[in-house]
Amino acid sequence: MDPDKLQGFARHTFGLLEGAVTSALVFLGDALGLYRALALGPASSAELAARSGLSERWVREWLYNQAAAELLQTLPEARFALSEEAAAVLADETHPAFGAGMFSQLPALMAVLAPLQESFRTGLGLPYDALGEEGALGVERGFAPWLRHFLVPGVIGAVAGLRERLEAGARIADVGCGAGFALLQLAEAFPSCELHGYDISRHALDRAEAQRRSAGVEQVSFHDARQEPLSAAREFDLVLSFDCLHDMTHPDEVAREIRHAIAVDGVWILADIKSLPSFEANCEHNPMAALMYGFSVLTCMSSSLSEPGGMGLGTLGLHEGKARELCTAAGFRRFQRMSVDHPVNAFYEVRP
């Protein structure tokens, strides 16, 4: 054995552990408001502890980790700061690049490691509700910043004539609506529309309903798809499914339900993870391939195998060719990729 290669591989392996541990401290920084407090200006550990109402000794060690991981800037006189870019990603929840929200589901993700061992033995995965309320919150906080800025101008605006149709009043369904953020955004932009959200996560639906009531929005309704299936409705002018089809046990059946429920001149905007047909291609072209396959085991593939006979697509399983195949088999005749720039998802315009 080459001792240099051994040392290099060990260093690489423990580098991955370092990333996991630092991720845990990113979660703490977000949950405890440390990034938001530091975004007010450079601070020493004592100053940051005073701003955040926390213990200085704990804040100091957290700062050391974050600075060693190059997430924070180190300044003279033992002071620390967030760069403008770091503030956008870690502290400003209104910025489209905000990413710390994804870390809010980290404790729930780690908690499923024990039951997932049995999944490896039986083949049966865990539903999204196994992640608890933190799972629904993490998904919402992960995608809401981008949707807040780009859903209406970037997605709705990319489909010819759709904005005008919604302004006149239309029926909209969001399949896999999660906590309902997209629908609430559309309700604000297009108050003449009737909007319906469908999901099977009770945690997500409860959060969606609470936010609907808080916003005082009357034209939005949320439905448990197991009790009120989409196929019971008809003539939706617009159907959305954002980053969720690959998580479903039977996405082919869902595509057929959408086909039955959509108006003859309606449009289905399908968004799913950018991927390629093979493992080799994903590794070559996707710098986050390892992260995506990891998420797949912990959440996406697990969810899609949570019922016997689940398709098990996984996070990178719904590439463009597979999406086209599902839509064609469901009876859709037109399928084209949209010119929507998203860091993770590809968007498709699908029509009967």
Smallest CA-to-CA distance from 205 within 242, 176, 185 is with 176
- Residues linked to residue 271 through DSSP beta bridges, in sequence order: 242, 347
Tokens linked to 135: 């799972």
Cα–Cα distances (Å) from 62 to 43, 75, 105, in that order, read 13, 16, 19
Smallest CA-to-CA distance from 129 within 303, 290, 264 is with 303
Query: What are the structural domains, with CATH classification, of the chain?
Result: 3-92 (1.10.10.10), 110-351 (3.40.50.150)
Tokens linked to 350: 């699908």
Tokens linked to 297: 């085991």
Smallest CA-to-CA distance from 343 within 287, 278, 279 is with 287
Which string of DSSP letters, residue by residue, matches 331-344? T--EEEE-----SS
pLDDT at 351: 98
3-state secondary structure 102-126: HHHHHHHHHHCHHHHHHHHHHCCCC
How far apart CA 322 and CA 325 sit, in angstroms, is 5
DSSP state of 228: S
DSSP state of 74: E
Using a CB cutoff of 8 Å and minimum separation of 24, what contacts does 112-119 make?
A: 112/298, 112/302, 116/297, 116/298, 116/302, 119/302, 119/305
- Residues linked to residue 222 through DSSP beta bridges, in sequence order: 197
At what angle are helices 3-31 and 56-68 packed, to 10 degrees?
A: 130
Q: Residue 232 phi/psi, 5° resolution?
A: -75, -15
How far apart CA 244 and CA 270 sit, in angstroms, is 9
Smallest CA-to-CA distance from 177 within 237, 130, 230 is with 230
pLDDT at 134: 87
DSSP state of 170: -
- Residues linked to residue 239 through DSSP beta bridges, in sequence order: 173, 268
Answer yes or no: pTM beyond 0.85. yes
pLDDT at 117: 98
Residue type, 229: P
pLDDT at 231: 73
CA 51 vs. chain centroid, Å, equals: 31
Residue 38 · residue 82 · CB < 8 Å: yes
- pLDDT digit string (tens) for the chain, length 352 residues: 999 999 999 999 999 999 999 999 999 999 999 999 999 999 999 999 999 999 999 999 999 999 999 999 999 999 999 999 999 999 999 999 999 999 999 999 999 999 999 999 999 999 999 999 888 888 899 889 999 999 999 999 999 999 999 999 999 999 999 999 999 999 999 999 999 999 999 999 999 999 999 999 999 999 999 999 987 767 899 999 999 999 999 999 999 999 999 999 999 999 999 999 999 999 999 999 999 999 999 999 999 999 999 999 999 999 999 999 999 999 999 999 999 999 899 999 999 9
DSSP state of 305: T
Does residue 68 sit in helix, strand or coil? Answer: helix
